[in-house]
Amino acid sequence: MKNFLGIFTLTALLLGFQLNSYAAEKVEYLKTDWSFKGLFGKFDRAALQRGYQVYTEVCSSCHSMKYLSYRNLAEKGGPEFSEAQAKAIAASFEVKDGPNADGDMFTRPGKLSDKFVMPYENVKAAQAANGGAYPPDMSVLVKARGGGVDYIYSLLQGYEDPPAGVKLDEGVYYNKYMYGNKIKMSNQLSDGLVEYGDGTNATVEQMSKDVTTFLMWAAEPHLESRHRMGFKAIVYLIILTILVYFSMKRIWSRIETKV
């Protein structure tokens, strides 16, 4: 048994080592304390609401979020705006609908059931407006980047002047955390860019953290219930395992062989 556990742990460690080595690029990302990490990790409600504000006022002019609906903003485990607030947010957007009985398309105020309105008609339009680069959809962006939240958080604060010898084309910017260091998005955040309703000081660092938290929720809207259920499931399994262990000992005690 001991022998078995030893070898099993060793294999698991080796496997872990192998997985770690997946990340070919070794860049030290900026670190911050994320409230949603760990066994009981939960989103910081206020940060999610502020993050949504940064998204709408800054990011959403180029980046879509096609898998999110306005109703999500009022759902449990998210920013938890009140239903009235979420309705008001939805209504502030013009949504294209139709065709109506006459066969015409029309615009109307958004409803809770509508998806987030896209900044561009299609990918081509988005590319045309951004010097050929497509601003990626942000719905699962955090999960689609190797460094996850730390990467996005760092990238937003990673703009600096290019080192001597690095030539940048028109519309290309230097970012020390970007893969290859060249990015087509210019630095978007500056201190005091948005005015937070709750009086929080809108520093670049604060906005980066808030909007990254928001993006994490957007990518994993069920993270809180996953953590809650996970803890219950694992506690239950451990108790059951202990009970089964003693049952096993008892059953095997009928014969002299050790188990």
Partner 1 sequence: MSDHQYTPKSKFGKWFNDRLPLLTLANHLTDYPTPKNLNYWWTFGGILTFCLITQIVTGLVLAMHYIAHADMAFDSVEHIMRDVNYGWLIRYIHANGASMFFLAVYIHIFRSLFYGSYKAPREIIWIIGIIIYLLMMAAAFMGYVLPWGQMSFWGATVITNLFSAIPLVGEGIVTWLWGGYSVDNPTLTRFFTLHYLIPFLILGLVVLHIWALHVPGNNNPVGIDIQKPSKDTVPFHPYIVIKDGFALLMFIIVFAFFVFYTPNILGHADNYIEANPLVTPAHIVPEWYLLPFYAILRSVPDKLLGVIAMLSAIFILAALPWLDTSKIRSAVFRPLYRQFYWILVADVLILGYVGAMPAEGLYLLIARVATAYYFLHFLVVLPILGFKEKTLPIPLSITEPILGGSPNLAAAKNKESLDIK
Residues within the interface to partner 1 (CB under 8 A): 1, 3-4, 11-12, 14-15, 18-19, 21-22, 24, 39, 67, 72, 136, 139-140, 143-146, 148, 179, 219-222, 226-227, 229-231, 233-234, 237-238, 240-241, 244-245, 247-248, 251-252, 255, 257-259
- The nearest distance, CB 63 to partner 1, in angstroms, is 14
- The nearest distance, CB 215 to partner 1, in angstroms, is 12
Cβ proximity of 180 and 155 under 8 Å: no
What letter does residue 109 receive in the DSSP assignment?
A: E
Euclidean distance between the first and the last CA atom of the chain, given in angstroms as a whole number = 8
Distances (CA, A) of 34 to 48, 108, 128, 239: 12, 38, 36, 30
Name which of 216, 220, 186, 193 is nearest 47 in CA terms: 216
- The nearest distance, CB 44 to partner 1, in angstroms, is 19
- The nearest distance, CB 174 to partner 1, in angstroms, is 19
Nearer Cβ to partner 1, position 192 or 230?
230
- The nearest distance, CB 194 to partner 1, in angstroms, is 27
Nearer Cβ to partner 1, position 38 or 98?
38
Nearer Cβ to partner 1, position 109 or 230?
230
Nearer Cβ to partner 1, position 125 or 229?
229
To the nearest 10°, report the CA torsion of 180, 184, 190, 195.
-130
Nearer Cβ to partner 1, position 186 or 247?
247
- The nearest distance, CB 83 to partner 1, in angstroms, is 18
Q: Which residues contact 42 (CB under 8 A, 6 or more apart)?
A: 35, 36, 224, 227
Nearer Cβ to partner 1, position 43 or 206?
43
Cβ proximity of 221 and 80 under 8 Å: no
Taking each helix axis as running N to C, give the angle between helix 148-156 and helix 204-219, from 0 to 180 degrees, rounded to the nearest 10: 150
